[in-house]
Amino acid sequence: MEGDSQSTAKAPRFPSIDLIAKSTATFVALIYSLGFVILTFHDAEYGVAQFSAFRARILLVGFVFVTVVTSAAAAQHYGLAHLPSVEPIMNDTEPKRHIHREIILAAAFVYTAELISSLLSNFLFHDVPAQNAGTPPLWRLIAALASFLLGLTVFALVGKLYLKKPKLATILAVLAFVMAVTSFFLSSANSSPFNYLTIILFLVGWQTTWIKGANNPIAYFLDYRLWQFPLIILWLYISQVFGALPPRWGGGQPIPIQIFQNAPAPWSVSNPMDALLLDETDQGLYVLLSPSGRAYFVPRSNVASMFFGTKDELSQKP
């Protein structure tokens, strides 16, 4: 008995190897599944029907998406970068104001989402194609700044009204949120990936708020009526953000290449062929002749050599 008690007292406090292995396998399966879905739907936009499921790139795509989503969820969960004006609201524990508190904090998170999006965009989107760039008119920039600052002012008013008039404070918080989102889109000539990434991060933070408030998070995820929000986040990422990310960051931005073919394909305009690399498998390459065109398949056996760059770069001597 004494030996049993000693062995029990000396039992390790760290997770077992079996638990670590199962957790790791679950995480890898999750990011692989997400990467597979993202790549499949993105390539299908260009007419690619066949897809190889055994590629390391799928893990990178899923890992980047999970990392982006987790950054917003962690910021909301730990209250990082919240506005100083909502500090009294964060510290409020009155059950009667619980709903108002959560709505206001969720609305204020839009500024945190913009901050995270700005930090990520500095290196994620610096290679966005030129056609997405542009400078908006001066009046739009002024309107964007005014809307942004007005939203911050309204949130400051929300912090002062919250304890006395929580319903009014909640309405004003939603209004300030609309002002903030308006400023994001006014500040860009076109709907940029930065804007959509901000919306994605906000939706993740908003979902994190309600998951924290649920008595049973597992039951919350199993409620199929709430699956629409993760699907919206995934759809926005695939349709508006993923295509602007360079491949080295787990994105689907086409890469300019020059393909030297053993026998030029009938649709090939020249040899070497100036194209955009969409995807690559063991069987061959999926390429685009124009950014908005359909994909062509080049068998790997027909590729004599390939230069990763434009025709102008190829013509330059070392």
Q: pLDDT, tens digit, for every residue of 49-100? A: 766 677 788 899 999 999 999 988 888 877 766 677 777 787 777 888 888 8
Q: Which residue has the tokens 């008039």?
A: 165
User: Nearest to residue 248, comparing CAs of 17, 46, 61, 52?
Assistant: 61
Q: How many angstroms separate the CA atoms of 74 and 216, rounded?
A: 19
Q: pLDDT, tens digit, for every residue of 12-59? A: 555 677 777 777 888 888 889 899 989 889 888 888 876 667 778 889
- In order of their start, the domains of the chain are 17-249 (no CATH), 255-315 (2.30.30)
Q: How many angstroms separate the CA atoms of 173 and 161, rounded?
A: 11
Q: Give me 25's structure tokens.
A: 């396998």
User: Nearest to residue 144, comparing CAs of 171, 181, 176, 175?
Assistant: 181
CB 95 within 8 A of CB 192: no
Q: How many angstroms separate the CA atoms of 143 and 33, rounded?
A: 42
Q: pLDDT, tens digit, for every residue of 111-138? A: 888 888 888 887 777 655 544 445 777 8
| pTM reported for the whole predicted model | 0.79
237-260 average pLDDT score: 88
